[in-house]
Chains A and B, each alone.
Chain A
């Protein structure tokens, strides 16, 4: 019998129908994948279960008895715990304190029992010690940990609540391979002890490696549930995307021989002596393990990091990289890695989000805006990038992740950049939107821009890039130029598995 049954779930956000008669049925002791492109509503369905979103209509039963989930507390009461890609850890508290937050064991008079707290935290944390490079930093402030380690703390926080249903929603996005491996072992243990794990990830290899069943959503509806042992990747993609023809475009470089961008000896707090060049119309990929300086390199090239030494030249002329204002004026564009925190203005309208980086070009005396001109510019981008919106006056936060990202990219296209820096632009967006982002990147390169592109997805990195630089600990350790480079080559290079290299 199913441990969890969700039926007829319906939720409307403003003008967007996020869920329309979605359903999910899953048994205890299984890992159940929830799949679908981003606008599909899988995140909303997850959040309905965890009480973050209150649906307009839904019937939910756990263990056969109907339950009403009006908030996260109700979800907790029914044994549901969740981990999202967005962290809820408190930076200033220690790892132990974060894990027991809200469950703090107390002695008489309500005094905290530190020793008991440590025991509770240690119980879940020790299982993850390989993910912390061997030793768990119980008393370190969470803010001092790497993003991947913070994510592990977040996961332990959920596990400390001893859930019967555990929701992992893109919880592996910021983990490196080793950490994912440890997490998967723990998830399998949980499954064997009868816990239902609802798993969402854009990485198909993870889904196949871990999950037993998959429920696929499309446009807010449940398309079906399939046993993963019998399913192929293509089958799943077909369920997600529907009967749309998949574009299989061969990589074709339009890079000219003319080198336009030269980075020479760039050194910052996180980078050491990085040098490379990019030709006009070339897409240069940045690979390697995540967090090895790719984002730092892009920030430095946008004037957003203090440069200790080195310079970046365009056509032989140094770019002014003392501030992002100057870099943007000089024709550099950055699509940052964290869309919500670094890329968009959540409470502001789509119109302003699109206009903000280029409006001075259209304004009279760089000050007075013409509403008509701004609207025309914004509409042009919305059509060109196929952004699905209700109206330009709607807040950008009403859009799905893929459409938000297209707005962030569109903001820069309006400024007609010569150098485009993209930091993992397809992270957490659906397949259709990814394809569209790829097309935009190609179009930018074809129109003569120098593109530097960081990606945590090796396949897309190889597909999109003319060359790939592999970074390790803030330096360039390898350059893959061969068109026949495989994912294995890239991974080996990223892990520095070549003979004679020391880690």
Chain B
């Protein structure tokens, strides 16, 4: 083979998905401000960012899983987030002193679910789509067994004030936490051996194995991280809603994938990053707010969401001429 393979991000006219998504977010804000003055006001923006944070944190794990390749996807993130919130709510039950045990238990359970996903996908060779789809059912069963159909408890006040209260510069603590996580995850992806191994495994599993990378361990850890971040997002969502319900975070599953993909993470694996995903989460949230402001029905919103995703992906596809 002596193919000068055609793929380069170099040509200047190519915009990176991150830039494109950020531009879209700003454009949506401007449109919103025009059709409904006050849409892009300070309070509104803070509120939209806060809503984005939940999606953004769930999508951390989704991004990691998608980068790991092998048709990697985690459909169980929404359910895991819900389960974590239910466990957290029952254990802390409005008591600040029980916040830490609640968090520990919820995240441990989440990690165990992720471990099952990872083991099933690597050792039993179950396709990620099937494994995590099946896991939704398993977790739903666990939720019913744990709650007997009735959710208990409520958020600890500290948790609620972290999410809803203003901490610094009139901004909720949640946003700082999100920023912190974003920096940590970006560091992990770009400046750790695990991050580089993850990209390598996603880019070419055979090469990864023959380069001495522990491929299975890398993939399993990706699914564990996905569940843990989902669990964390569930707990934070509990702080926002204060009390829990049985399908609290279920609807975050598809948007978490959409956020990652909008942000330029390649569904085939091996390419991507968290900055794009975070912006993707903001884009989706601003779009939702705009559609609600325009008083478009729920059905219409779903259609438009889908269309935006298709248009964006086709734009990326046009730019990224991969023939590897």
Contacts and interface: CB of A to CB of B under 8 A. Distances in A.
29 contacts: A14-B10, A15-B8, A15-B10, A41-B4, A42-B2, A86-B1, A86-B3, A304-B210, A324-B212, A328-B212, A329-B212, A340-B1, A342-B210, A345-B203, A345-B208, A346-B203, A346-B324, A347-B266, A347-B270, A347-B322, A352-B200, A356-B208, A367-B194, A369-B193, A394-B10, A398-B8, A401-B1, A401-B2, A428-B1
B293 interface: no
Interface string A391-425: 00011011011100000000100010000000000
A227 B270 CA distance: 47
A156 to B, nearest CB: 21
A469 B10 CA distance: 46
A339 B206 CA distance: 11
B8 A341 contact: no
Interface of A: 13-16, 18, 38, 41-44, 47, 53, 84-86, 170, 302, 304, 324-325, 327-329, 334, 336, 339-348, 352, 355-357, 359-360, 363, 366-369, 371, 394-395, 397-398, 400-402, 411, 415, 428-430
Interface in B121-148: none
B191 interface: yes
B265 interface: no
B200 A348 contact: yes
A397 B200 contact: no
Contacts of B210: 302, 304, 324, 334, 336, 342-343
A346 B204 contact: yes
A398 B207 contact: no
Nearest to A393: B9
Interface of B: 1-11, 191-194, 196-197, 199-200, 203-204, 206-214, 266, 270-271, 322, 324
Closest 8 pairs (CB-CB, A-B): A328-B212, A14-B8, A401-B2, A345-B203, A397-B5, A346-B324, A14-B10, A38-B2
Secondary structure of the A contact surface, majority rule:
mixed
A15 B207 CA distance: 26
Given A304-B209, A401-B1, A401-B3, A348 B191 contact: no
A304 B194 CA distance: 22
A359 B193 contact: yes
Nearest to B191: A369
A76 B212 CA distance: 43
Contacts of A304: 209-210
A357 B8 contact: no
A417 to B, nearest CB: 10
Contact of B193 (A325, A367, A401): A367
Contacts of A324: 209-212
B324 A13 contact: no
Given A339-B1, A395-B9, 20 more contacts: A15-B10, A18-B4, A38-B2, A41-B4, A47-B3, A304-B209, A327-B212, A328-B212, A343-B207, A343-B210, A346-B5, A347-B7, A347-B203, A347-B324, A356-B197, A369-B196, A395-B8, A400-B4, A401-B1, A411-B211
B141 to A, nearest CB: 36
Contacts of B270: 345, 347-348
Contacts of B214: 325
Contact of B204 (A18, A86, A327, A344): A344
A394 B193 contact: no
A342 B8 contact: no
B1 A397 contact: no
Of the listed residues A42, A339, A368, the one surrounded by the most CB atoms of chain B closer than 10 A to its CB is A368
A396 to B, nearest CB: 9
A426 to B, nearest CB: 12
A278 to B, nearest CB: 21
Contacts of B11: 14
Of the listed residues B4, B191, B196, B200, the one surrounded by the most CB atoms of chain A closer than 10 A to its CB is B4
Nearest to A169: B2
Contacts of A367: 192-194
Contacts of B2: 38, 42-43, 170, 400-402, 428-430
B196 A394 contact: no
A40 to B, nearest CB: 9
Contacts of A16: 4
A385 B44 CA distance: 57
Contact of A325 (B8, B10, B213, B322): B213
Given A304-B209, A360-B193, A85 B10 contact: no
Nearest to A38: B2
B122 to A, nearest CB: 13
Contacts of A44: 4
Contacts of B266: 347
Nearest to A402: B2
Of the listed residues B5, B191, B208, the one surrounded by the most CB atoms of chain A closer than 10 A to its CB is B5
Contacts of B4: 13, 16, 18, 41, 43-44, 398, 400
Contacts of A341: 204, 206-207
